[in-house]
Amino acid sequence: MEESYLKSVIRRFRYHKAGVISFWVVVVIAALAILAPVIAPYAPDAINPEFSAAPSAAHWLGTDQIGRDVLSRLLYGTRTSLLVGVAATLISTVIGVLLGLLAGYVGGAVDQIIMRITDMVMSFPYILLILVASVIFKPGLNSIILILGFVDWPGVARLVRGDVLSLKEREFVQGSRIAGMTKSYIMFSDILPNVMGDILVFATTVMATSILDEAALSFLGLGIQPPMASLGNMLNGAESVTVLTTMPWLWVSPGLLIIVLVVSVNFVGDALRDALDPSSVR
């Protein structure tokens, strides 16, 4: 019975087969992305003599229309996409958690103001926001991270606020109030640890969404700008019917990778949800 919380989380995580497999898939993809400069056979923007070449021994996944090695671009592109996913998730989670805690615990007018802002951001079509932003700022890695970070926080804020509202009425929180503990102590000692699991699970969803959003925006040419590679802008070529029908190697691998990455991240989130709950039976 005596095991640390972390150990029990790992034990429960192991019961989720898809989660464990997905976890390793994500780890391998992340490792490949991080090690891209070491393992990539070519520089991502190096132009080779063969244009639009089908996969061969020299170029495992072929080359694109201007002769860049697809495998190398895929590795560097994954790096970009993961970086966008993680950074945007971090920004939106921090904003969302802080605003959610504040709204839920302080309540009253503060709650009203925060939640109306949340509604506003939520109802705003983000493609439009990004169109406008891309006019004002230079499109690129930093702006896409910031934009996605500032678009995704309302979900987190709502989740945290809801959790805080229900936890606030729980007897153990009232017990701490009776024992004379201060609001900030209760917030960080009693409430936050109980919201942490939900936040982590939600963060995986946000990360998956961010990766997809980056892909969509880059596909439209509003996100990561060439020559920098991202999974999204690698799909860019598939806008043309010729590429779509005759050069599948250009879009199949980045497309598949996006699917595998997003599905895996979601499965990890699902497994985490079960694992982080000490009251689950396992």
What residue ranges bind another protein (CB under 8 A)? 1-2, 5, 170-172, 174-181, 185, 189-190, 193-194, 196, 278-279
Q: Which residues pair with 102 in a beta bridge?
A: none
Kindly state the smallest distance separating residue 100's Cβ from another protein, in Å: 18
Q: Which is nearer to another protein, 51 or 185 (CB)?
A: 185
Kindly state the smallest distance separating residue 35's Cβ from another protein, in Å: 36
Kindly state the smallest distance separating residue 196's Cβ from another protein, in Å: 8
Q: How many CB atoms lie within 10 A of CB 190?
A: 19
Q: Which is nearer to another protein, 31 or 196 (CB)?
A: 196
**What is the DSSP code string of 3-33?**
--HHHHHHHHHHT-HHHHHHHHHHHHHHHHH
Q: Residue 213, class by beta-carbon neighbours within 10 Å (0-12 exposed, 13-18 middle, 19+ buried)?
A: buried
Q: Which is nearer to another protein, 108 or 180 (CB)?
A: 180
Kindly state the smallest distance separating residue 189's Cβ from another protein, in Å: 7
- Residue 97, helix vs strand vs coil: helix
Q: Which is nearer to another protein, 45 or 111 (CB)?
A: 111
Kindly state the smallest distance separating residue 31's Cβ from another protein, in Å: 32
Cβ 221 vs Cβ 207: under 8 Å: no
Q: Which is nearer to another protein, 128 or 171 (CB)?
A: 171
